[in-house]
A and B are shown apart, each in its own frame.
Chain A
């Protein structure tokens, strides 16, 4: 293992922020894994830390395949993680909205540029990312439809689904989008929680990455077989949104099979306990995403349902 400083951001009265990468093996740049880009992405950091530990053992056991290199960057925003701020506080900016970055730009643009330059020449890229609202997903790997994506390779993670999503305008400044444009087969994995450690989800994410690295011939290690995986798109998912606000009480959890018309959740008046809305599924299928925050705002996406095929 070789520990490298990818970039250093000096600070006036704090210690310099070093962005560290951990490189395993020698030769072609096979796979890069990027963890936390936000200061609250603790779970993403944790999965990377465990992956570095795992790869260290693999390397000791001569499990890195000759001519292959794996690099892990656990976090690019350690200074914000230390102060518990999601954004890069001096600019109040989201690092994952600053790609492709600019080497002579603002601090976040410089970080984004340095990170992308480091990982752009890798054949495969995996970003561990968080979701913009609290909730639970069926395990899946996702990528944006940039015209450069390769969903078939995503099947090798062995997660139940490979989700190809249409990018929105704002997505064009994310790492994943720009990584794909740079020619890397880039994938995003949601590692369950964000601000806290979820051991089961971390294990599952780690297993998926190890499976992919073995499948691509980058490492040779013991790994558990994956699941049968299907490719889905936005068109396969039906959204159930809230038309009222209040306290949220789920009846069904992610992964549940539901029949058309079945009750999914209640939105409750937070003052008197009366029911404001009963959310029901408009289709038969499986709950792909379930919101799990205590409060619901009107228009919140509460469920995504993967419709059953006839």
Chain B
């Protein structure tokens, strides 16, 4: 069996001086028929974990084409202008979040047109995986996120990606205007893969997601080698926004010094960290867990404001 590799530009806009703002796709096509899987990353230009994971997937398939069937479309960087500036937003007159601009418009602004073209290229795939890397000061477990509207259908399909947790988002405008939300509305199965590349071992988390994706491809009939796939756990914790998530925010401005709790099951009253004032040499706030449960998000050492998210806990059922 052999594969063909084709790199093409699927969305573009000319910039004023001798440059295209271009979104590139690498298509790996097997000569044996199979499903079409798309993997995107870099919609926020400062999130780089997808580069490594997509490289690992691509390299693996090109090294072992005999195990691969179907079509794999890889879009490693959806926000190349942001990458250059290490910037989440798309650099433009008003610095817009690309993941709040979908579905875009055919004859809209440059960003809307790019989003429209990207969505057009992705829609109809059997599955789209959009890899994110959390924000700068947040540590996350490996999460698969999906929209609420089709969660009964999507949850069983997410298990083979082998995440630590599955998160069902509410149907609200901020999610509807994301790439995943827009694809879901078009009837294309789509997941966000969220993982923290900064404080956890980036090599470890990259390999974890890489093997999760291969396990998913194995389930989809796109990858026949079961040697490096994972055992699918059926009872992955599922969390629902507004139901079994406890968001812990701070009430005092200061510096947050976290206790390392990410991935731990903690009890009500356990400390998640402290907010300090260096000027006065005092602890402003001892941040305690209000419930028992799994800490799946935790803020790292950073400056905080009232309302800054410090942790998310999957509450244990009482």
Contact = CB atoms under 8 A, between A and B. Distances in A.
Interface in A265-279: 270-271
B96 A299 contact: no
Interface in A125-172: 130, 132-134, 168-170, 172
B16 A134 contact: no
A244 B14 contact: yes
Contacts of A169: 102-103, 173, 176-177, 182
A132 B94 contact: yes
Nearest to B117: A299
Interface string A39-72: 0000000000000000000000000000000000
Given A97-B100, A170-B177, A247 B307 contact: no
Contact of A134 (B13, B93, B108, B304): B93
B109 to A, nearest CB: 6
A297 B101 contact: no
Contacts of A130: 94
B15 A297 contact: yes
A86 B96 CA distance: 11
A196 interface: no
Contact of A271 (B18, B88, B93, B182): B18
B255 interface: yes
A10 interface: yes
A296 interface: yes
Nearest to A109: B307
Interface in A85-142: 86-87, 90-92, 94, 97, 104-110, 130, 132-134
Contacts of A245: 13-16
Contacts of B102: 169
A293 B93 CA distance: 9
A133 to B, nearest CB: 5
A173 interface: yes
Contact of A270 (B17, B21, B112, B303): B17
Interface size for chain A: under 10, 10 to 19, 20 to 34, or 35 or more residues?
35 or more
Contacts of A11: 253, 305
Contacts of B113: 299
B282 interface: no
Interface string B1-41: 00000000000111111100100000000000000000000
A199 to B, nearest CB: 23
B62 interface: no
A301 interface: yes
Nearest to B182: A169
Contact of A297 (B13, B89, B303, B309): B13
Interface in B250-271: 252-255
Interface in B203-243: none
B55 interface: no
Contact of B94 (A86, A168, A301): A86
B97 interface: yes
B173 A90 contact: no
A301 B254 contact: no
B18 A133 contact: no
Contact of B16 (A13, A295, A301): A295
A271 B12 CA distance: 21
Contacts of A270: 16-17
B279 interface: yes
Interface string B81-108: 0000000110011111100111101011
A170 B177 CA distance: 6
Contact of A12 (B18, B173, B303): B303
B110 A90 contact: no
A297 B249 contact: no
Contact of B307 (A97, A107, A293): A107
Nearest to B255: A12
B252 A10 contact: yes
Interface in B42-71: none
Contacts of A298: 12-15, 110
Given A9-B306, A109-B307, 19 more contacts: A10-B252, A10-B253, A12-B277, A92-B89, A106-B307, A107-B308, A110-B306, A132-B109, A133-B92, A169-B173, A169-B182, A170-B177, A172-B173, A173-B100, A245-B14, A297-B13, A297-B110, A299-B114, A300-B110
Interface of B: 12-18, 21, 88-89, 92-97, 100-103, 105, 107-110, 112-114, 173-174, 176-177, 182, 247, 249, 252-255, 277, 279, 303-309
Interface of A: 9-13, 86-87, 90-92, 94, 97, 104-110, 130, 132-134, 168-170, 172-173, 239, 241, 244-247, 270-271, 293, 295-301
7 contacts: A10-B252, A90-B305, A132-B109, A170-B100, A170-B173, A270-B16, A298-B13
Closest 10 A-B residue pairs measured CB to CB? Answer: A172-B173, A245-B14, A107-B307, A298-B14, A169-B177, A299-B113, A298-B13, A12-B253, A295-B16, A299-B110
